[in-house]
Structure 1
Amino acid sequence: MTPASPTTPPGPGPDPADPVDLDPADPADLVPADPAEADLRAAFARAALDVTPGPVPLAAVRRAGRSRRRSRTTALSALSVLAVATAVAAVVALTPVRPSPPLPGPATTPSTAVPTASHAAPPTQVPAPPPAPSPVRVVARGERVNAGKGWTVWLTEEGKHWSGPDGYENVRSVTDGNVDTGEPGVSHQSEGDATRIFHSGLYYGTRTAGRVELTGAGGRRTVATLLELPGRPGWGVWYASTGPEDQAPGLALYDRAGQLLAELPPM
């Protein structure tokens, strides 16, 4: 170390009344006033100049950087895989699964079921079919019925009445004793011209008349219309129209079950 300089008597100090004026740009202002402190600073400066810095550990710095990048890449990859797995799970959950058809297997013998006690449901009440419409038209006393082609028919307690296109009226009585209403029977009257024949008559001796049928030339059949007064008096009137070739057909009276009650052969 440098030997200490001889002590010099202190000079006159600064006047406390004078302001301190330090100029950082002036080197004289940076030198400490104490000579011992100045010597110490100079010794530290020389020791610092004698220190040689070691080499920078570049390899270790690179390894640390690569390790950090790998850790960050692994974390991002894990997040990506988790996101894809979540999306796939959502798609699978939203996609309907159709069951596969059952595979054919060996035929099995059905097991015998053991009957168990149960309350049987009451049988369903099947409504009865509506009654078939009556084949007989019930008309009031003296009610005029249009039979077509200018012909008109009506009934009274006396019997059958009818009139033709010329307006001439006829009657066939059931009360004059010429008709036996105690036995099923049928009568026949016909009028017409070269184009059309009007047939009519009485049926009697039954309260279940179902059909009067005319059989003409070649077996041609015509079903007549039936009229009765209210209360089923046991007789009624039938009428029908045919071509001129069936002027004298055969007649048959059937009940509502289709059973033949009476017939009148062709003339």
Structure 2
Amino acid sequence: MPHSPDDFTAYAHASLPQLVTTAHLLTGNPGDRREATELVRRTLVRVSARWHRIPRADVDFYVRRFLVKEYLRGARGRSHRPKAQRAVLVLLHWEGLREAEIAQLLGWSAGAVKSRARRGLALCGGDEERLRGAFAEAAAGVVPSSVPLDAVEQRGRALRRRRRGVVAAACGLLLVPGVVFGADRFMNGGSPDGSEGGEAAVAQGPIRIVAPGERVDAVPGVQVWLTTDGKHWSTPEAPNQFLGLTDASDEDTYRNKYQDTYQYGSGKKVSAESGKPTVSVQPDPLNNTSYFLSGLYRGLSADPARVEVTVEDHRITGTVLTLAGSPGWGVWYARTPVTPQELKSSSVDGGPTVTVYDAAGKAVARGGAAE
């Protein structure tokens, strides 16, 4: 349940001492209030801008995420490594989070968190109890600074309005498929079938690491979210849909559901337990004129670098959602609405076809068409 706007001020007042203390520990200079206070101010602006979308039970999770992301923002190379190590140590030995929780919080793998925790602790002498004591001593000397919450909320509202303007502009483009498809052809070197450059030329696609249950607005009216047992999504036509990781195949479901406009692929079935990487395609009607495409990939040894879906002669780069820790599965979706005519025409050749590429540009999974 989202908070009301009035709840933000109450939450900010209550959490400010802890936020300021953690910010001081992150910046490593408890004697200088300005850096930590500015870090808290920027964090609260981001929280305020998203307040209406943050679930009531997960406020602390998102605030910690924004705080550390702001702390790491702009750091590169060697500077980023010490700051990342310090962030892990503060979250682990001051905030009391587990390594798995930190990985989920920051969108890192569990191995990356463990490595940074080990190296950071070694630099601090290797004694966890001594480090906790040092954090406690430093925290005791922190005098919470005042943060102008009225100015924070004003800045948050401005940021929210600007983001809505960007989303509205993007939605306007989505309603003109020719513009989006044309841009896609341009970005793929002008070749509708993507033949120019070959698999080695595959670029990185949009990949987003999310927390379990974190809802993502894929296109207007469609939300997608992940839990540890699979994919969830809601559309105007069918709310609260679910596809589990252990489901053997969803081909029959979608062939029967949309057989008047769409014939799903080749009819082959690949069990989720077969060990072979697989990827599915689910078309969902948005209205009488467009469909939303999404799917679930699984069985990969690492997160994909790019997912592409082909509808007739159009190649669209999908957005990937995955949980922290490179679980080998995730969800893709295509932002471009597909018309029933395009979907039906595509089905003649066994499409839409979705292809998953690894970082080297190699196709590691393909679904939705005869191979």
Shorter-normalised TM-score: what interval? 0.3 to 0.5
Higher strand share: 1
Q: Which of the pair is proportionally richer in helix?
A: 2
* TM-score, with structure 1 as normaliser: 0.47
Higher relative contact order (CA 8 A, sep 6+): 2
The structure whose Rg is larger is: 1
